[in-house]
Structure 1
């Protein structure tokens, strides 16, 4: 079995390489115009859009696993430029259903003969997805929806996951360090998520847990699963109909207040993530419906996740900092979560956060202010210091997609205000204020103790300095080998100067015999090349690429 999976993975790798070869060549030429040599190429937004469309076609051609990967990439601005995110966001999980004869084999292997198990069973799938398909049926007189895993999908997914792993070293050559970090996390997250999504027994458990958390809440409807006709590859649920949440016209016809509906959806997800710690992680419009009473119906819990208590606390702190427009607290929280590099330029990030908050609140922003910040981030997206740890990736996906749905319902929707109101009602803001007070009191206590301890120590230091017995050890952290490169430049320059001087002297004092001067010049020439490379090389004296103004100016000049 392992050998067959490997053989299939090798074949799939060749197909993937063939599909992506034009993009690989294009990215290689971005680094070196003529692949092996030449200057970097500047890539304009129109070129990125064309490449994103090529990537979209390739993902569709490669099938279910890569369609899922494209959907995940469309929610990861820490990996892809905005043009790619926009194009891939149109990628829908809408794949033609497998033949009924194939799906029937899976059904009967799990549940037994279809006609004996169900009262009625519609042979035409009502929806097809990359990993499964859904049929309508009747079970013990109740209308049900039966989700069946796509036949043979397990072997294909395992082979494709190996291909993704094998492809990572190639892709890392074309992206920055921060994005490589996020990309590796994405690969791990993708493998875990897609395997979980194929396990319908896990989906049923998650569905039941989330359903129990909202028991008695009339604002949300989650289908009730049927244990007797469910298994690892088949999930039978109560059939709950509704209008697709993105169908604004139909929602208006039902008389449902769309602003209240958007607020309801946002509050439901806040409860899932902040309070319950378990959440539905695939809230695209195909998985959300609206009933006539305004209740929101949730479908498809295959993609769902959990949030640990540390991340829950940090999310609360982040929302409160946003509500208070405390930029320093926002940046501190992002750093503590591992989302923002500690080396990021705080002033630039502060400007970006201020703009983001104003945009989220729907405030009017001066055009010159937008242009100023765009110039700061222009052409440096690959070195943007935001990255996503594995435990936050699904949360960001949910936040991004939910915000899009809410804005579709109400273009003036202010999710910051809704989140602030929710946190206040649940008492989180008061708890945070109390925590700040306690931390301030603790800090004051430590400061008072230090005031008592420091003077004697300071007196001892001054005594040693007066006696001339004070020594100081200085340790320089040189991760980028700056001193080593400076030393090389100094030595190369010294040897070049000596060689040039020797050549001049030999030529001046022995003009009738130019051979010694030519030999000296030949020995000096390598140092010219070495010194030129030391100053010209992109890996010269530069820190690890950071989101700084100097870095932005350098990139624009290039």
Structure 2
């Protein structure tokens, strides 16, 4: 009875959301459909596909924006030009009305005294899921208060159901039956919904601080558990943050920062399997002395041990130029393999790609292009990786531009080797 009552309560909102999403998609189909159809009839790619999809996802809201951001890494499933457009999606939206913000805070602290001596209602940062506010606790500590947008959970969960239905329908199409669309939706969509869980984010902050405690040059704000709730996350406020252009730093600071960024990411990725997928310049700050500040653990993913180990194996063998073993790792870890796949052809093509990429420096090695060629091979031969591989790839793609701006001579692969050798025992030969 309770479940039925809950379903009936949610039904009107779900119907309205379906109507809005359906209406928006229909409107885009009417406006852009003729151009897409004309390109198909001419058997040419539609150049406006990426911009159209990016605009559509932005109109549909935060769930779809974040799906687009993740899909931008899936060059095994989407054309390069579409992925490029999706990679430019931004999720900043206007702050909610002050009355709604006050309602969230009132519910969070209704069973205890108001814990802040000062609270700035105007946010210092806004996002699609939450806003960030500066405050001072009663004992004088400056803190950052992350407040979840009211109602955003219901909207994103409804969107998750809708996209699940769409993936199920697409999976029935003959050309898409071999693609792991349902699995991808479950893992990618689940990761997006995971960002609503402020308790998990608070724990992720603690894990990141513990796992990187040996790195004195990385600062991660400490959460204040006693002031946190389901809708509010309170952490120490980091003063003096500024986005510094690389040219404003000394040469030594730039080189130190580049290596520290890669060491931090590699430690998280290859050792802990705790991947920060959102280290853009708004969440990763470089100080004038080359030290780092890492913020916002909302999009931190814990990789399963098989995926962490496989990714580490692949990366170290890529650095060593062992293309045949790289191919075997991808084949073994694939979510699905098309019937009649030419595995020997895939092995030969990947071996050639790895050979071309081994030992290149940052200026010469472009991770996005390497990933694009890798995924193109997988798509062409019909090998589809587990969706979890999107997360470490996203982490590396996000920081690549930052590192290249700091030190274009940095050797990405050489920087990874000490971490891989110190903490992992990867396969480095093919066994029969």
The answer to whether the superposition gives a TM-score over 0.5 is yes
Shift of 1:353: 5.4
What's the offset of the Cα at 1:320? Answer: 2.3
Task: Provide the rounded CA distance (Å) in 2 between the counterparts of 1:404 and 1:149.
Answer: 30
Distance 1:255 1:96, change over 3 A: farther
The one of the two structures with greater contact order (alpha-carbon pairs below 8 A, sep at least 6) is 2
Give the corresponding residue for 2:398: 401
- The C-alpha deviation readout for 1:454-511, integer Å capped at 9, x for no partner, is xxxxxxxxxxxxxxxxxxxxxxxxxxxxxxxxxxxxxxxxxxxxxxxxxxxxxxxxxx
**1:296 pairs with 292, 297, 300, which one?**
292
Q: Which residue does 1:260 correspond to in 2?
A: 256
1: distance between equivalents of 2:362 and 2:347? 19
- Count of aligned pairs between the two proteins: 417
Q: Deviations over 1:283-315 (max 9, x none)?
A: 222211122332211111111121233223322
Check conservation: 2:198, 2:229, Cα contact below 8 A: yes
Are 2:19 and 1:21 equivalent residues in the alignment? no
Computing the radius of gyration from Cα coordinates, the structure with the larger value is 1
Measured after TM superposition, the shift of residue 144 of structure 1 is: 0.8
SS of corresponding position for 2:185: helix
Q: For residue 198 of structure 1, give the secondary structure of its aligned residue in structure 2.
A: coil
Q: Retained in 1: the 8 A contact 2:270–2:420? A: no
* Contact kept in structure 2, 1:59 and 1:70, CA below 8 Å: yes
Q: Is the 8 A contact 1:203 1:302 kept in 2?
A: yes
C-alpha displacement at 1:74, in angstroms? 1.6
Shift of 1:218: 1.0
Deviations 1:190-236 (A, max 9, x none): 33112221111111111112211222421211101111211111000
1:58-457 matches, within 5 Å, as: 58-112=56-110, 116-139=114-137, 140-172=139-171, 176-177=175-176, 180-181=179-180, 183-241=181-239, 243=241, 247-250=245-248, 252=249, 257-338=253-334, 341=337, 343-347=341-345, 350-351=348-349, 354-355=352-353, 358=356, 361-362=360-361, 383=380, 385-424=382-421, 426=422, 428=424, 432=427
Distance 1:72 1:175, change over 3 A: farther
- 1:6 partnered with 2:39: no
Go from structure 1 to structure 2 and tell me whether the alpha carbon gap of 1:377 and 1:126 turns closer, same or farther (over 3 Å shift): closer
**Cα pair 2:324 2:350 within 8 Å, conserved:** no
User: Distance between the aligned counterparts of 2:362 and 2:174, measured in 1?
Assistant: 34
5+ residue gaps, structure 1, are 444-558
What is the DSSP-based 3-state SS (H/G/I as helix, E as strand, rest coil) of the residue aligned with 1:138?
Answer: strand
Which piece of structure 1 moves more, 380-389 or 7-16?
380-389
CA contact (8 A) 1:94 1:129 kept: yes
TM-score, normalised with respect to structure 1: 0.66
Change over 3 Å in CA distance of 1:142–1:177 after alignment to 2: same
- Kindly indicate whether the alpha-carbon contact (under 8 Å) linking 1:135 and 1:146 is maintained by their aligned counterparts in 2: yes
CA shift for structure 1 position 43: 2.6
Superposition deviation, residue 91 in structure 1: 0.9
User: Distance in 1 between the 2:153 and 2:49 partners?
Assistant: 30
Counterpart secondary structure, 2:385:
coil
Instruction: Give the root-mean-square deviation of aligned CA atoms.
Output: 3.6
Contact 2:179/2:384, CA 8 A, preserved across alignment: no
Task: Return the offset for 1:357.
Answer: 5.8
- After TM superposition, give the deviation of residue 273 of structure 1 in Å: 2.0
Quote the Cα distance in structure 2 between the aligned partners of 1:153 and 1:214: 32
Is the 1:225–1:238 contact (alpha carbons within 8 Å) kept by the matching residues of 2?
yes
Cα distance change of structure 1 residues 125 and 33 upon mapping to structure 2, 3 Å threshold = closer
**Deviation of the 1:8 alpha carbon:** 2.6
- Superposition deviation, residue 136 in structure 1: 0.5
Question: Relative to 1, partners in 2 of residues 1:400 and 1:388: Cα closer, same or farther, differing over 3 Å?
Answer: farther
> TM-score, structure 2 length as denominator?
0.84
Q: What is the rounded CA distance, in whole Å, between the counterparts of 1:350 and 1:6 in structure 2?
A: 53
Structure 2 contact 362–404 (Cα < 8 Å) conserved: no
Task: Tell whether the 8 Å contact from 1:287 to 1:300 is kept in structure 2 after alignment.
Answer: yes
More helix by share: 1
Question: Does the Cα contact within 8 Å between 2:95 and 2:131 map onto a contact in 1?
Answer: yes
